[in-house]
Amino acid sequence: MGRSSVGVRHEGTALLAYEMFPSMDRVFGFTHVGLGKEPNILRDSIFLRGQTIPQRVDIHVRATMFHVVWDEFRARGNLQDKDGRALDPLGVAALNDQLWAVGVMLRSEDDDEVLRIFDPAYEPFLPDPRMDKWREIRNSRTVKTVDGTGVVNFRAMAWEKISTYGRDDWSKYKPLLVKFLRLFGEGIRESLTRTCWDQLSHLTGTYSAAGAQEWMRAKAADLLPENDNAESPFAKVYFSTSPPLK
């Protein structure tokens, strides 16, 4: 996740968890009902895993991270202005700084600080008016109800489930939830440190928002990251108007 824009191949499990999380208990309930029928490897294995708290916490945390962080992180990494310009390299570095801050919060030794990920007022990214339209489209998505007679707002439904799940057995659920969230925070730290440490301001990286030299800052506006869904935006930069370098 050290890439400022990630393709589906990178966050596929988080996306899958997010899409199925609102229906997770119903899926596990269906497998329970099916136990009285002839053996079925897929159904029976899902039932066994679904009864374990760690399995539920894992799906819950992945869905949470997609809802709060990854979905918008990916969109910001692929953000283009009306003239077709994407984030410049220092813009990418600033975005990675904001992701680093998410990881710091999740690695906190204070449980309440880690659980701030569920605070409806928590915003992992700095405001950007260019994201308003994207948020409007995202927030307006609807899905059919189970009985097919109506529609509900998916994001509101998912958040209601995400922000309240596990509270009926909180004493057992909370320790694992906090542990798994800390693992995600550690994953952010490890990935960013390994793949783009020189973009991180807290390390005063050469290409970071805080550590870049003045000549780099002056050139950054003329540079564009490669806007490829799999490898953007750190994969390649090039001059948008200048001739090739010799």
**pLDDT tens column, 99-148:** 999 999 999 999 999 999 999 999 999 999 989 999 999 999 999 988 88
Sequence-separated contacts (24+) of 84-89 with Cβ below 8 Å: 85/224, 85/240, 86/224, 86/225, 86/227, 86/232, 86/233, 87/4, 87/225, 87/233, 88/220, 88/221, 88/222, 88/223, 88/224, 88/225, 89/207, 89/220, 89/223, 89/225, 89/233, 89/237
C-alpha–C-alpha distance, residues 134 and 117, integer Å:
21
pLDDT for 154 equals 95
Which of 107-116, 159-168, 196-205 is predicted least confidently? 196-205
Give the mean model confidence (pLDDT) for residues 85-93: 80
pLDDT for 92 equals 86
69 three-state secondary structure: helix
Q: What angle do CA 205, 70, 68 make, to 5 degrees?
A: 110
Q: Is pLDDT at 152 greater than 70 in this prediction?
A: yes
- Name the pLDDT band for 2 (thresholds 50, 70, 90): very low
pLDDT for 11 equals 64
C-alpha–C-alpha distance, residues 180 and 62, integer Å:
9
Average pLDDT, the chain: 82
Which of 81-85, 220-224, 230-234 is predicted least confidently? 230-234
Which of 113-122, 202-211, 217-226 is predicted least confidently? 217-226
pLDDT for 38 equals 82
Q: What pTM does this model have? A: 0.79
Whole-angstrom distance between the N-terminal and C-terminal Cα of the chain? Answer: 34
DSSP state of 245: P
Q: 85: which residues sit within 8 A by CB, 6+ positions away?
A: 224, 240
pLDDT for 239 equals 36
Give the mean model confidence (pLDDT) for residues 41-62: 79
Amino acid, single-letter form, for residue 212: A
C-alpha–C-alpha distance, residues 19 and 47, integer Å:
19
pLDDT in tens, 14-37: 888 898 888 888 877 777 777 777
Give the mean model confidence (pLDDT) for residues 160-173: 93
CA nearest neighbour of 203 among 120, 96, 63:
96
- Concatenate the DSSP letters of all residues of 192-236 into one string: HHHHHGGG-GGGT-TTSTTT--HHHHHHHTTEEE---TTTTTTS-
- Name the pLDDT band for 228 (thresholds 50, 70, 90): low
pLDDT for 121 equals 95
